[in-house]
């Protein structure tokens, strides 16, 4: 996945002039300054003499895109830090932000989460790249103590984090990088501290730091939507392997990874080009870790999480330029990044492999795992593996998946592993730049599972819910039973469409085999809801209905009796309230009272417009909106939803992008 992130500072602009410029000439990839992607952060932050406002005091509005994650394409997630007069600016709302992709305004599922909201919306994947050479013997104990304190501090920060470790410089593997846990990150802080981190030991000589950074970037599987952070800890120059500084930087940038370096002052210059270009920083290896923790957690927590669904959802393998424009108090700033959809390997198990989950298999079965693995941009897939273990074991083994016709890859789970109660497995594929997994998130902790006789996986019978009423709880029911022994849990997982993390709750037993649970009313928004069910038996073998990667989707009902596909709409769209009222057009075959309700992206009511009763059979009826709330205030920039409802119970919905 190729990603570039950069920043331009625009300040001292009159808001009206800037708005006109946005409408008249939105920059595209070809109109951006040549070489912008390669400019250092310091160059991009340089304040020009004309960037003066507010009484000749330098007070630029600055916006920095610290990460861009397209793993959930067509949903795109970014972290954008905003400051004014050099201080973090955390009181902006969605109306202060506008997004363009390749020059096109992006309004679908556009959302901005401010810095003060952390739980469930901020993901940080943090990898420690740790020097295990003999020269670290004097520092490793102190460093280990600081790292463990760092992890404890993360646990208290409210950030949803996952941790990984790459060791290098040890005698084992001739000092070359060792990617722990097969490149899987763990969300279990205690497991990381007590198991993964304890694998560090100082004995070795060669310390290829650049190589370790590059291998880590290409080998770890990151969570969709997560901010990616590397922390390299070393006491020697990193230029001791075949990987150059430039190659390491390219892999960091292609994967949108921010690098922090802890090293001796003598080697600051070796890391400065990497930390500067990736919005990171270097520290003295003996620095107090509370300072480092404060800086890193501040970068994670003091940014806006900005997301949208691309208006071009095609995995075409071409570069997309994303421009985030921020306005505040008459000033404006632009943060720019890019990505290539389909550049990372995409893994899709075949129908034959999915069918393995439809039954329990005899012990000793040879299980053939097949998947279509597609990479839509160079380089091509270089390696694919299936990782497997017995359900009641801890450690995974792996085998190579070999390419066959087209994009088909095959790998086998040995018959010696197919023992009761079941087999756990997941897939990983790499193109040498990016690694993908199936499942996409925490595959080692949440693997695919196949039951092995005499155990049989739980059975789930469920008719998916497809429609919701905004603001009303959604009741989900299912028939669930276990024919071997007993169920240990039955759970409902849910999230608003476009969000990253699922919430979960236990389903209640009703009677017979019937279980139920309700998705809370505040999740039943106009954006829709994703959900799936999971049932686990007393042996730890699970069945699912839907999945985290392929959930069931519930959308608001849209049952106004149309005369055609385009009979309910608002224009102009995008809409600028200062140019005059906008118009709703709709058609009704009946003669009901019609109301139009407006909501913001957070599902908060803005205003209700009464359109009055209409005669039966009327067409091309209309109502107007001047961009004001129920209090008479003009709404800010952003995406707004409207619901047209009739007294007969029919309804239709749509979206309006307000661009003032």
pLDDT tens digits for 51-81?
333 334 444 899 999 999 999 999 999 999 9
Query: CB-based contacts of 615: which residues, under 8 Å, 6+ apart?
Result: 591
**pLDDT value for 189:** 92
Query: CB-based contacts of 351: which residues, under 8 Å, 6+ apart?
Result: none
SS3 192: helix
**pLDDT value for 218:** 96
**pLDDT value for 312:** 93
Give the residue ranges of the chain where pLDDT is below 50: 1-59, 560-566, 591, 615-616, 618-619
Nearest-angstrom CA–CA distance, 568 and 580 = 20
**pLDDT value for 273:** 97
Tell me how far CA of residue 561 lies from CA of 128, 568, 571, 585, 652, in angstroms.
58, 10, 20, 13, 9
**pLDDT value for 118:** 65
Domains of the chain and CATH, by start: 3-115+302-339 (no CATH), 123-276 (3.40.50.410), 346-451 (2.60.40.10), 459-556 (2.60.40.2840), 569-658 (2.60.40.4070)
Q: Which two tokens stand for residue 534?
A: 């999971």
Residues 331-364 pLDDT 10s: 999 999 999 999 999 999 999 999 999 999 999 9
Of residues 502, 534, 544, 536, the one with CA closest to residue 519: 502
Nearest-angstrom CA–CA distance, 229 and 38 = 20
Query: What is the residue whose two structure tokens read 């600081």?
Result: 146
CA 269 from chain centre, in angstroms, equals 32
**pLDDT value for 15:** 30
Helices (H) and strands (E) in the chain, counts: 9, 42
Q: Which two tokens stand for residue 607?
A: 């205003």
């Amino acid at each position: 996945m190729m990603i570039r992130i950069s920043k331009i500072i625009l300040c001292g602009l009159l808001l009206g002039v800037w708005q006109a410029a946005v409408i008249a000439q939105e920059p595209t990839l070809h109109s951006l300054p040549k070489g912008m992607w390669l400019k250092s952060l310091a160059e991009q932050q340089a304040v020009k003499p004309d960037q003066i406002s507010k009484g000749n005091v330098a007070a630029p509005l600055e916006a920095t895109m610290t990460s861009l994650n397209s793993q959930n394409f067509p949903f795109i997630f970014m972290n954008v830090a905003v400051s004014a007069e050099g201080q973090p600016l955390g009181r902006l709302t969605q109306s202060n932000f506008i997004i363009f992709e390749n020059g096109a305004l992006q309004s679908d599922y556009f959302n901005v989460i401010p810095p003060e909201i952390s739980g469930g919306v901020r993901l940080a994947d943090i990898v420690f790249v740790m020097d295990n050479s003999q020269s670290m013997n004097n520092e490793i104990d102190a460093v280990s103590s600081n790292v463990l304190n760092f992890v404890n501090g993360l646990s208290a920060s409210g950030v949803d984090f996952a941790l990984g470790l790459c060791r290098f410089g040890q005698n084992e593997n001739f000092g070359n990088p060792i990617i722990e846990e097969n490149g899987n990150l763990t969300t279990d802080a205690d497991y990381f501290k007590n198991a993964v981190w304890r694998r560090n030991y100082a004995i070795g000589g060669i310390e290829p730091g650049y190589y370790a950074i590059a291998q880590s970037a290409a080998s770890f599987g990151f969570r969709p939507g997560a901010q990616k952070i590397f922390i390299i800890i070393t006491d020697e120059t990193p230029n001791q392997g075949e990987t150059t500084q430039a190659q390491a930087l390219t892999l960091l940038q292609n994967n949108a990874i921010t690098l922090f370096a802890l090293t001796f002052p003598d080697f600051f210059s070796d890391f400065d080009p990497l930390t500067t270009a990736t919005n990171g920083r270097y520290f003295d290896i003996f620095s107090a870790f509370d300072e480092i923790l404060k800086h890193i957690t501040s970068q994670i927590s003091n940014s806006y999480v900005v997301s949208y669904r691309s208006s071009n959802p095609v995995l075409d393998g071409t570069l997309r330029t994303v421009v985030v424009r921020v306005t505040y108090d008459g000033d404006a700033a632009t943060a720019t990044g890019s990505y290539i959809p389909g550049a990372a390997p995409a893994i899709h198990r075949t129908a034959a492999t999915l069918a393995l989950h439809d039954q329990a298999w005899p012990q000793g079965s040879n299980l053939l795992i097949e998947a279509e693995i597609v990479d839509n941009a160079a380089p091509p897939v270089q390696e694919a593996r299936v990782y497997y273990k017995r359900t009641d074991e801890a450690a995974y083994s792996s085998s190579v998946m070999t390419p066959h016709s087209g994009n088909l890859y095959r790998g086998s789970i040995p018959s010696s592993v197919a023992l009761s109660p079941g087999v756990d497995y997941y897939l990983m594929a790499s193109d040498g730049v990016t690694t993908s997994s199936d499942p996409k998130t925490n595959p080692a902790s949440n693997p695919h599972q196949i039951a092995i006789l005499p155990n049989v996986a739980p059975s789930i019978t469920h008719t998916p819910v497809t429609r919701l009423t905004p603001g009303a709880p959604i009741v989900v029911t299912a028939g669930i039973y276990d024919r071997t022994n007993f169920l240990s849990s039955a759970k409902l997982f849910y999230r608003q469409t476009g969000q990253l993390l699922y919430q979960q709750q236990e389903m209640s037993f009703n009677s017979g085999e019937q279980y139920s649970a309700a998705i809370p009313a505040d999740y039943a928004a106009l954006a829709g809801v994703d959900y799936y069910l999971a049932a686990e038996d007393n042996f730890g073998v699970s069945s699912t209905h839907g999945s985290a990667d392929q959930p069931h989707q519930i959308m608001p009902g849209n049952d106004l009796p149309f005369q055609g596909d385009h009979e309910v709409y608002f224009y102009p769209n995008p809409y600028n309230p200062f140019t005059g009222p906008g118009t709703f057009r709709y058609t009704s075959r009946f003669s009901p009272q019609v109301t139009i309700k407006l909501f913001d992206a957070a599902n908060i009511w803005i205003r209700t417009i009464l359109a009055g009763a209409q005669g039966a059979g009327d067409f091309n009826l209309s109502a107007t909106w001047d961009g004001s709330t129920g209090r008479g205030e003009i709404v800010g920039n952003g995406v707004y939803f409207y619901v047209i409802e009739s007294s007969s119970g029919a309804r239709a919905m749509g979206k309006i992008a307000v661009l003032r």
